[in-house]
Amino acid sequence: MISRFRVLPAYYVFLVVLLYLPLMVLLLFSFNDGTALSFPLRGFTSDWYEGMLANGQLLGAARNSAVVGIGVSTVATVLGTLAAIALVRYKFPGKTLFLMVAVTPLLVPFLILGVALLILFSALDVDRSLLTVGAAHVVVAIPYTVLIVASRLVGFDRNLEEAAYDLGASFPYFLRRVLVPLIAPAMLAAWLVAFTVSFDEFVLASFTIGREPTLPVFIFGQVRFANRFPQVVALASVVMILSLGLVLLAQRLQSAWTRR
Amino acid sequence: MKGSGVRWALLLPPGLVLLVLFVVPVLMMVVTSFRPDLRGGPFAWGWEPTIEHYQSVIQGGDFLPLLWTSARVALLVSFLACALAYPVAYYLAFRLGRSTALLLTLLIIPFWTSYLLRMIAWKIILGSNGALNSFLSFLGLTDTSAPVLLYSRSAVVVTLIYVWLPFVALPIYAGLLRIDRSLLEAAADLGASRFQAFRKVTLPLSLPGVIAAFVMVFIPTVGEYVAPILVGGTRGALYGNIIEILFGDGINWPLGSALAMLMLVGVFALIVIAARVLRVGRLIEAVER
């Protein structure tokens, strides 16, 4: 028993160090006084962070991603919740087919979904913009929201519903006072997952984007401009720290709920 | 149970969105792959369906070998990511003591940082005057400025393993957690060594989680075209890069659609096999009830 638990912790530490090393390299170069991303380091500077705050295009792209992310996660959470309630609580013809269609977007490479949506939007003569990016992201966020909310509903006590009706509740009242409060934690978790999926997504966005870039599209376009790149790395470091905080917060909330 | 009105009010919004933004586009791609050209726009009628694009994919020398290369890269990346993550998932699942959740979170956090940036980090590390090379020559270990690994298929594989490694740990860990511990006690009571118990009990029972993780990495990797652009160079190009180019500049959408269809069929074949192994049917039945 003992030897196994010596090798494995060492391997765990090794792997975690390996996973964080590239991220640390990014962080290191965001404070390096020089445009070349190479050693030796030239000295400490906060220029890149100041430059980032003055870079309207960069901040605009970050704002676009946030706006798209909030819209996508809200729409996908609502649609996913509706689908999850229908799937868990009701019988209807074609249920298996509906479930499969709702989950399949995750099983198709994003490249293929991206070109398929490109064909659709050009056929319908829809100008590509942040809206089309949002539409694409909703499709791939729905599987997550459906599965997260449905897994919470599966454990739902049917007697609660009958009790509500016996006590004279209407369906909307039941929805508002019983069902939604019950699945609210799952809806919040679904919202957060959908947001992170959208905020970070590049492939679908690159096929459906118009003139206004999202952050990943903007970053991809900056890779070839070496002299401005440290600013992008600086912003990336900020986003990294922020998302770390968000993930830890979500973890906290989730463990608080499961303990209840 | 309330009437059918509620049922349709619940089903219609998500159903319509999935129909218009998922089912219809994929069907349009199927149709496009049989068109001789795009004259008259995507909704034009009166063209003769043709299989010339599929013929040129099959006879056209480079396409099928490259699809095979993409499949091999995806297999290699998925296999190595699962193999490297397994011991860690095992450690966390069978670890005694507190803060296992924290250790798991620590492992997964890199996955929640931008996927593009993690690839760019590797571009910086592997570049010819990048971090790894300049660090090595700074230490006096190398004096060449030739990139160690950048702009090759190996760089693509290494980068993608790095990107997916934290992600696969989760399903493998979940699979290991589900294993009934009394089975391991029984194995020990019956005189199995620790290695025998692992090989005959733990490993087979953990395979569903591993297969799920494998498929979840394989699908995005087989269509990958971003990593080849960033770290692969011309020698590291994959099947996805051809599709992206054919659509990117609007050169040949019908041929691009045919190429995409071929990949989609391959992916679905793999999913059907994996679903057989994982018995997804039971999951659906559980929801049906």
B 28-67: CB under 8 A from A: 28-29, 32, 41-43
**Does residue A204 register a pLDDT over 70?**
yes
Give the closest of A119, A154, A216 to B29, CB-based. A119
Write down the pLDDT at residue A166. 85
A–B interface: beta-carbon pairs under 8 A: 232
Q: What are the chain A neighbours of B225 within 8 Å (beta carbons)?
A: 111, 203
**Weakest-pLDDT range from B96-110, B139-153, B193-207, B264-278:** B139-153
Superfamily covering domain A71-222: MetI-like (1.10.3720.10)
Q: Residue B47 in 3-state DSSP?
A: coil
Percent of chain B with pLDDT over 90: 28
Write down the pLDDT at residue B140. 64
DSSP letter (8 states) at residue B37:
-
For B64-104, the pLDDT digits (tens) are 888 899 999 999 999 999 999 999 999 999 887 778 888 88
Write down the pLDDT at residue B39. 67
A 164-203: CB under 8 A from B: 171, 196, 200, 202-203
Sign of CA dihedral B177, B181, B187, B191: positive
Model confidence at B210, pLDDT cuts 50, 70, 90, reads very high
**Does residue B261 register a pLDDT over 90?**
yes
Sign of CA dihedral B26, B27, B29, B30: positive
> Is A84:A91 a contact under the CB 8 Å cutoff?
no
Residue with tokens 């507190």: B98
What are the residues facing A44 on neighbouring strands? A32
DSSP states of A199-213? HH--HHHHHH--SSP
Q: What are the chain B neighbours of A96 within 8 Å (beta carbons)?
A: 284, 288
**Weakest-pLDDT range from A102-111, A195-204, B133-142, B268-277:** B133-142
**Does residue B20 register a pLDDT over 90?**
yes
For B38-53, the pLDDT digits (tens) are 766 666 666 778 888 8
Give the whole-angstrom CA distance, residue B208 versus residue B204. Answer: 8
Model confidence at B289, pLDDT cuts 50, 70, 90, reads very low
- Token pair for residue A108? 């198709």
Mark out the alpha helices in chain B (DSSP H runs).
4-18, 24-32, 52-59, 63-94, 100-108, 115-126, 131-138, 153-177, 181-189, 194-197, 203-222, 226-227, 239-248, 253-278, 280-288
Write down the pLDDT at residue A205. 95
Return the ∠ at Cα B180 (arms to B174 and B186), rounded to 5°: 145
* Mean pLDDT score, A237-244: 79
Neighbours of B22 (CB within 10 A): 24
Q: Which residues contact B174 (CB under 8 A, 6 or more apart)?
A: B209
Domain segments of chain A: what residues?
71-222
Write down the pLDDT at residue B217. 93
DSSP letter (8 states) at residue A106:
G
CATH architecture of B63-288: Orthogonal Bundle (1.10)
* Mean pLDDT score, A187-206: 90
> Is A206:B115 a contact under the CB 8 Å cutoff?
no
**Does residue A73 register a pLDDT over 60?**
yes
Classify the complex by whether its ipTM is higher than 0.90, answering yes or no.
no
> Is A100:B271 a contact under the CB 8 Å cutoff?
no
A 44-63: CB under 8 A from B: none
Write down the pLDDT at residue A70. 96
In order of A189, B154, B156, the CA distances from B151 in angstroms are 39, 8, 8
Write down the pLDDT at residue A255. 66
**Which of the residues A5, A11, A12, A242 would you substitute to probe the B interface, choosing the one with the greatest number of B C-beta atoms within 10 Å?**
A12
A 89-148: CB under 8 A from B: 89-90, 92, 95-96, 98-99, 101-102, 104-105, 107-113, 115-120, 122-123, 135-136, 138-139, 142, 146
**Does residue A203 register a pLDDT over 50?**
yes
Contact B6 A16 (CB under 8 A): no
B 210-269: CB under 8 A from A: 219-220, 222-226, 230, 240, 243-244, 247, 253, 256-257, 260, 263-264, 267-268
* Mean pLDDT score, A212-220: 91
